[in-house]
Amino acid sequence: MRPVLLMKVFVTRRIPPEGRAALAQAADCEVEQWDSDEPIPVKELERGVAGAHGLLCLLSDCVDKRILDAAGANLKVISTLSVGVDHLALDEIKKRGIRVGYTPDVLTDTTAELAVSLLLTTCRRLPEAIEEVKNGGWTSWKPLWLCGYGLTQSTVGIVGLGRIGQAIARRLKPFGVQRFLYTGRQPRPEEAAEFQAEFVSTPELAAQSDFIVVACSLTPATKGLCNKDFFQKMKETAVFVNISRGDVVNQDDLYQALASGQIAAAGLDVTTPEPLPTNHPLLTLKNCVILPHIGSATHRTRNTMSMLAANNLLAGLRGEPMPSELML
């Protein structure tokens, strides 16, 4: 009886238990994992992926030509534990006939919840308020102390009315938002109808919105979209939130806008780089709330993502339809 040839799978990080179990139960695969919660060094990634048939990676793993060359001709599938794919050299991957799996939809609601949480935290100045309680700054009730901005009767601008952008608008609507604006590559009248959202240009959105939430994909067209010109058009009382990708924002321009009082406040769940250095100027500002990219960080969502990533990988290796394949 001929021995069964196992397909080599390399996993670049510890992943949640459901996805890990799905891979462990695959009798036709031999799984090797970088056993750490920290990013894998490039040299270790090159070593681990050599000869692999499948790679399960994270958005912090840059899978470029160098890594693909290190993998060699066996590599048939790359499955990323993310909805974003800007860390993958897609042109090179397509050229080599490698299939790609990703995890859309499953993190939409969780990320929208985080966006709303971050917006409320930022506009109502909660980190400042918590700090004042801890440091003794809370001396009495004061009429003008720690006043922020509310959503009732406001105009909210959403950059990118995709799945996550719509989910954010859906959650903000009950707060009494008066008007929704959105911008993107093209109008989306069917999706916008639920919120009576108006399609406007990016400068119009910047100028008219009380709150701006960036929820677009990172593309050559959106890289650096939120820059000095964008912030100069915003109201002095406006609040800016980014939950998409750090590179959509020019952070030096954002710092100047916040430090000079050109805009009221900003909340970021994504930065460039990640992690943001602890001496970064944005971290010195009271009116800037920065989170460590936790948009999808609930136990249920991360488990679901890991299961989908594992199933994408296994289906691809077996020549079957993937649950969520990125068509290249």
Catalytic residues: 293
Distance of CA 30 to the CA centre of its chain: 31
- Tell me the residue type at 62: C
Torsion angle of the four alpha carbons 16, 17, 18, 23, in this order, in degrees rounded to the nearest 10 = 100
The closest of 239, 231, 223 to 156, measured between CA atoms, is: 239
50 phi and psi, to 5 degrees? -60, 120
Asked if 148 and 123 touch (Cβ cutoff 8 Å), the reply is yes
Helix, strand, or coil (residue 241): strand
Whole-Å CA distances, 20 to 238, 239, 306: 44, 40, 8
- The helix (run of H) or strand (run of E) holding residue 54 is strand 54-57
DSSP per position, 123-176 = HTTHHHHHHHHHHT---S--TTTT-----TT-EEEEE--SHHHHHHHHHHGGGT
CA–CA separation, 84 vs 113, rounded Å? Answer: 18
Q: Is the peptide bond before 104 cis (omega within 30 degrees of 0)?
A: no
Strands 77-80 and 29-33: unpaired
